[in-house]
Structure 1
Amino acid sequence: MTTDTMTARVALKKVTPDVSGAMRALHTAAVTAAESAGLEAPLLELVRIRASQINGCAFCLDLHTRDARAAGESEQRIYALNAWSESPFYSERERAALALTEAVTLVHDGRVPDAVYRAAAQVFSEAELAALIWAATVINAYNRIAIATRMTPAG
């Protein structure tokens, strides 16, 4: 089945502004929780990029790789992110966050394994862990919105 992936679909912000506003508020609350917990902004961008890679969301990949670069993330680490578990470029905290992000994103593949959760709980406080789960949840929702409505990168 061939589809035209470049044709935009329903404009959710226009058609359902209250729901779009609620989603924006959820995103803002998740960012605030991450800041309050002391999570590093570059770590959150890695989480957003990794979930977007898994989901194949071009719009979010474009947005968050630009944001990561603007925050000082290296090209090498951005390029290697798809193979983070085999790459020496990521810290123990980043590895735990990326594993948790993958488990949340691929929850249909066996839920969030206890070992993945325990590894994250060993390097993150409860507040940080909660914020990471929210960050992964929010980017997954945004990926689905962007893909379903065929949002395209600014280019």
Structure 2
Amino acid sequence: MSKRINPYARMDLFQPLIDYSKTLPEVGLEHSLLHLVKIRASQINGCAVCLVMHTQEARQDGETEMRIYLLDGWREAPHFTPRERAALAWTEALTRLDHAGNDAAYELVAAEFNEAEQVALTLAIGNINLWNRINVGFQVAPPRSAAIKVAA
């Protein structure tokens, strides 16, 4: 691993992104759904920092460990609603920019989400992908296990 700069030393550049990120839970989508989207995109992108952060947040908001464990295999697990499955398919299509699977994923999203929700979901997926790319690109390390806090 080569030594990279700490991008967060320039918080002035991050403030607009932080402010934007804080507005996403207010767009009308379920917080539990947004947690699943953040975790799934972070799994695909291999962003350890975001995986720690967003699994902790999901657990604090009541998400079960079982659903977090099964998220990478959501297609085979009966633990997710049709709406969550649509969001996860759309997350995968946009995170991987899977043009071949985009139509099928979009049909699922269109069946479960109204137009405003489709746009909000797409913005949420884009947002987590940007954070993933910042952390992975600059090789930001996740916290040590002692720093991890899990809801009881």
TM-score category (smaller protein): 0.7 to 0.9
Matches within 5 A, 1:51-62: 51-62=41-52
- C-alpha displacement at 1:19, in angstroms? 2.5
Q: Deviations over 1:64-90 (max 9, x none)?
A: 000111111111100000000111100
Q: Which runs of 5+ in 1 are unaligned?
A: none
Count residues with an aligned counterpart.
144
In structure 2, the residue corresponding to 1:66 is in which secondary structure?
helix
- C-alpha displacement at 1:112, in angstroms? 6.0
User: Are residues 1:153 and 2:142 paired?
Assistant: yes
Is the Cα contact below 8 Å between 1:11 and 1:149 reproduced in 2? yes
Letter in 1 for 2:131: Y
Q: 1:27 to 1:111 in 2, by over 3 A?
A: farther
Q: 1:112 to 1:21 in 2, by over 3 A?
A: farther
In the alignment, the residues of structure 1 paired with residue 83 and residue 125 of structure 2 have an alpha-carbon distance, to the nearest angstrom, of: 15
Runs of 4+ residues over 4 Å off in structure 1: none
In the alignment, the residues of structure 1 paired with residue 63 and residue 23 of structure 2 have an alpha-carbon distance, to the nearest angstrom, of: 24
- The Cα RMSD (Å) is 1.6
User: What is the TM-score of this pair, normalised by structure 2?
Assistant: 0.87
In the alignment, the residues of structure 1 paired with residue 76 and residue 70 of structure 2 have an alpha-carbon distance, to the nearest angstrom, of: 9
User: What is the TM-score of this pair, normalised by structure 1?
Assistant: 0.86
Residue identity over aligned pairs, in percent, reads 44
